[in-house]
Amino acid sequence: MPVNITGVQGTLKAMRKFDPDLAKQMNTQIRGAMMPIRDKARAFAPGNSEMLSGWTKAGSSTETIKYRAFPKYDQSETRAGIVYRQGANNKGEIAGAKFTRRWQVAYFIANNSAGGAIFETSGRVNPNGRSQSHIVASRHKVNKRYKEVSGTRRDMNSLNPNAGRQFLEPLGALYGSRGTIDPRFGNTDQRGRLIYRAWAEDQGRAAHAVNLAINIAVAQFNASHTTSGYGLAA
């Protein structure tokens, strides 16, 4: 979950170069605002015994937990994988996740655990699991817009057609904003059970504190470096 910073990147870069003590003070204040979100998200991670039997087992080996075909869930690994990071990310990637639209984030909390990420967002698209028969649509571009033009029906061949629903039931509700689904930009669903839940329950207080810390630091920097030419963008 990132805090997007716009309009002050030049000032922040100059601050780190010419006034590192002020930058350090600002980062300390921002960390103080973001860490409670991280800690609260970690606390939401349920115990292994609460998950579907077979997805994880208490005392399962590290190699089993990290099996990549379908990563296992482990409470301790999930909690350790929820981390706070600072520093602009220019590659449009956070904790290994690539975004359709490339953006820059300066301060963010991410989930580095594969099993934890599955627990975080599973059920966004199909809250009761995928149906036995579903449409796989094809799309083409018309006048810079994507339009659904055809579809192919596919039937699920699973020996347990209710597996999706059974997997999701122990995970609990999703928290946050559903967002929108745009085929040009992907799914903007902002719901989850760990980081997204902590962020939703915070109700914007952390984001406000981060922006306030930056605005104060920028004002102090500009006041003492009046010839630098840096400032807040309109």
pLDDT of residue 33: 95
* Domain contains 77: yes
Say how many domains are in the chain: 1
pLDDT (mean) for 86-114: 61
List the Cα angle 169/171/177 in 5-degree steps. 110
pLDDT of residue 53: 75
pLDDT (mean) for 161-169: 83
* Domain contains 64: yes
pLDDT (mean) for 191-217: 94
* Domain contains 112: yes
> In this predicted structure, which of 55-69, 92-106, 169-183, 197-211 has the lowest mean pLDDT?
92-106
* Domain contains 233: no
Please identify which residue in the block is written with the tokens 């922006």.
211
More confident residue, 57 or 227: 57
More confident residue, 72 or 56: 72
Average pLDDT, the chain: 76
Domain coverage including residue 217: 2-124+174-224
Q: What is the token pair recorded at 68?
A: 């990549």
Residue 176 has pLDDT above 70, yes or no: yes
Q: What is the token pair recorded at 64?
A: 């089993």
Q: Give the 3-state DSSP-derived string for the chain, with helices as H, strands as E and coil as C.
A: CEECCCCCHHHHHHHHHHCHHHHHHHHHHHHHHHHHHHHHHHHCCCCHHHCCECCECCCCCHHHHCCCCCCCCCHHHHHHHEEEEEEEECCCEECCEECCCCCCEEEEEEECCHHHHHHHHCCCCCCCCCCCEEEEEEEEEECCEEEEEEEEEEECCCCCCCHHHHHHHHHCCCEEECCCEECCCEECCEEECCHHHHHHHHCCHHHHHHHHHHHHHHHHHHHHCCCCCCCCCC
* Domain contains 103: yes
* Domain contains 206: yes
Q: What is the token pair recorded at 8?
A: 């002050």
Q: How far apart are CA 48 and CA 9, in angstroms?
A: 42
pLDDT tens across 119-135, in order? 999 998 888 776 665 55
> In this predicted structure, which of 18-22, 51-55, 182-186 has the lowest mean pLDDT?
182-186
* Domain contains 154: no
Asked if residue 194 lies in contact with residue 174, where contact means CB atoms within 8 angstroms, the answer is: no
Residue 93 has pLDDT above 60, yes or no: no
pLDDT (mean) for 194-207: 94
Angle of helix 114-121 versus helix 195-202 axis, rounded to 10 = 50
Report residue 210: phi and psi, to 5°.
-65, -50
> In this predicted structure, which of 3-12, 158-167, 199-208 has the lowest mean pLDDT?
3-12
pLDDT of residue 25: 95
Q: State the pTM of this model.
A: 0.72
* Domain contains 230: no
